[in-house]
Amino acid sequence: EVQLVESGGGLVQPGRSLRLSCAASGFTFDDYAMYWVRRTPGKGLEWVSGIGWNSGNIDYADFVKGRFTISRDNAKNSLYLQMNSLRPEDTALYHCVKGPVASFRGAYFDYWGQGILVTVSS
Amino acid sequence: EIVLTQSPGTLSLSPGERATLSCRASQSVSTSYLAWYQQKPGQAPRLLIYGAFSRATGIPDRFSGSGSGTDFTLTISRLEPEDFAVYYCQQYGGSPMWTFGQGTKVEVK
């Protein structure tokens, strides 16, 4: 059974940093692309970032470019999202998401974690 | 950016009835790269349909997807109690690569 368990969320002040982690199990982690998707009350679901199976291809949504960094450790079956210069509008439930293939472009999302809440507020 | 507009916002139906959910794109969706997800309160979204009409593993055949270009439909032929949820469409071929609709809530009438 595929399991994606996020951690590292919480309350943080604007301008500060937070690192999200996702522990994956139930599949061969380094065979698949992975993503972060967030849900906000105002904008609904938004794709944040994606990374190919070997970290060779990475992309970000414009609203996080230069502030967030996605990475993965295939030896630890883990996905990460380093979030710097956080803004109140980054407040959201962040989901770790698995793709159906190794390449991250042109792919849908076949499994989602339940999400971890990040609140950016002073 | 491809904007996806779902309608209606809320669909009030009874178990056993047919549900028809619409997803309209602001531009043509490349190669029918359109997916549908179901989300229940407190649960992760679940993939239902990809490639506009292909059912994901384990999805009952009462769920079907159709459409192409800019107009797509998710149909639930006969609503079961467990089908009352929020449904999202997603395109995965544009720029940015992935965008979602705002969701349609299917609620018990």
Say what the pLDDT of residue A69 is. 98
Phi, psi (5° rounding) for residue B100?
-120, 155
Nearest chain A residue (CA) to B94: A106
CA distance A99 to A77: 14
Say what the pLDDT of residue B96 is. 63
Residue A30, chain B, CB below 8 Å: the answer is no
Average pLDDT by stretches of 10, chain B with 109 residues: 94 97 93 92 94 95 95 97 96 83 96
Residues 29-58 of chain B with CB under 8 A from chain A are 30-31, 33, 35, 37, 42-47, 50-51, 56
CB A34, CB A48: distance < 8 Å: no
Q: Shortest CB distance from A108 goes to which of B35, B96, B103?
A: B35
CB A54, CB A62: distance < 8 Å: no
CA distance B52 to B60: 16
Say what the pLDDT of residue B46 is. 96
Say what the pLDDT of residue B1 is. 84
Residue ranges in chain A whose pLDDT is less than 70: none
CB B22, CB B73: distance < 8 Å: yes
CA distance B94 to A95: 21
Residue A75, chain B, CB below 8 Å: the answer is no
CB A111, CB A101: distance < 8 Å: no
Residue with tokens 């809440």: A117
Q: Shortest CB distance from A108 goes to which of B43, B92, B99?
A: B92
